[in-house]
Amino acid sequence: MVSRGIRDKVAIVGMGCTPFGEHWDRSTEDLLIDATAEAVASTQLTVDAIDAFWLGTAGSGTSGLTLSRALRTDKPVTRVENMCATGSEALRNACYAVASGAYDTAMAIGVEKLKDSGFSGLVGYPPPSDGTLPETTAPANFSLLPPAYARKYGVDPDELAEVLARIAVKNHYNGARNPRAQFRKEVSVETVRAAPRVAGSLGVFDCSGVADGAAAAIVVPTEHAYRYTDKPLFVKALSLVAGPAAGYLDSEYDFTSFPETVSSARDAYAQAGISDPAAELALAEVHDCFTPTELILMEDFGFAERGQAWKDVLAGTFDLHGDLPVNPDGGLKAFGHPIGASGLRMMFECWLQLRGAAPADRTIRTVAAGRSLGLTHNLGGGPGEAVSFVGIVGTELSA
């Protein structure tokens, strides 16, 4: 596979992100306007100066009119959807458009109003099929991960439950320090473990939040970046993999890895020139749709050896002030998961942390220690049938 990437050809010069939560008093258009306004306010641009827009939404709009109506613009607006990677897909397309020279400025923006639908998870209905696909919920699908992991690596199920609770506690701790997060209250391991079951061993606190929200990014060619901000983020890698969706039919698939994530991470590291991600990254925003997902992703990304990530969780490696902070903004678990906005929300955390703009009580120490790269990741679908996006950005240009 040829994947040359666009390393250091495009820069993010402005970002905006609404609070995530139950916005009963805000429409889709309101959220789009709010995210756009914050993004342009962080630059010397105006909405009229944006050449083209990429809008990501899974179910809160059906065309570019969703955004153009809100912004009262007649510019090109491309609506994209790629399950939970929808917001990141908008960013990927906007970046490649600028890198190609087609546009000087572009905005990627994602939005979702899940609370208006009364539906939890991906909105809309699946396309017609031949009837052979399993009709199971997302919690049911991801509930297959803990017993598979425990069996393969010989981890006592009760100890693994403690590890998964620890992941939830970590992300709620971080979210409690984030004024934009949906859930801003710390929880204890005991509370997590005593919560009602949703599917298998997964309880309420093992599942990510369902929220309304929007986030936006403005991208320009790198050579123009300092016209608009003194602290741009340079795009190092953008990798998207859509898997063969054969996991449920493959007798070799054991539910202890996401092959699409492994492939997209490998590609992103190659694009960015990263050889030791655990040592080189300042932070990682990963798709913690369920607590066992985050555990397995730590190994898929090479942050931990196979079968060892549970020990690193208990050791605090991925805590806010750990060796490699993971989801310092609270993640999907506490920040919430408005599908079209989540990928850009993750990038917004990189925007804050890498540029030294995060609140004092949520500032990670790895940036001060000299690391300048951040990773974002989305996983759309489920075990054995997924799309995976990995993005890497940094504050310094490569030599």
Q: Where are the beta strands (DSSP E) in 77-178?
A: 77-80, 106-113
**Sequence-separated (6 or more) residues with CB below 8 Å from residue 19:** 179, 180, 181, 182, 213
- The two tokens of residue 205 are 């606190």
Helix (H/G/I), strand (E/B), else coil: 224:
helix
For this structure, is 287 an active site residue?
Answer: no
DSSP 268: H
Helix (H/G/I), strand (E/B), else coil: 180:
coil
- The whole-angstrom separation of Cα 235 and Cα 359 is 24
Instruction: Provide the residue count of the chain.
Output: 399
With b meaning 16 or more CB within 10 Å and e meaning fewer, what string describes 180-216? bbbbbeebebebbbebeebbbbbbebbbbbbbbbbbb
Give the number of other Cβ atoms within 10 Å of residue 231's Cβ: 14
> Which of 23, 172, 287, 337 is the catalytic position?
337
For this structure, is 84 an active site residue?
Answer: yes
> Which of 84, 95, 207, 350 is the catalytic position?
84
Angle at 134 between CA 128 and CA 138, to 5 degrees: 100
With b meaning 16 or more CB within 10 Å and e meaning fewer, what string describes 292-328? bbbbbbbbbbbbbeeeebbebbeeebbbbebbbbbbb
Residues catalogued as catalytic: 84, 337
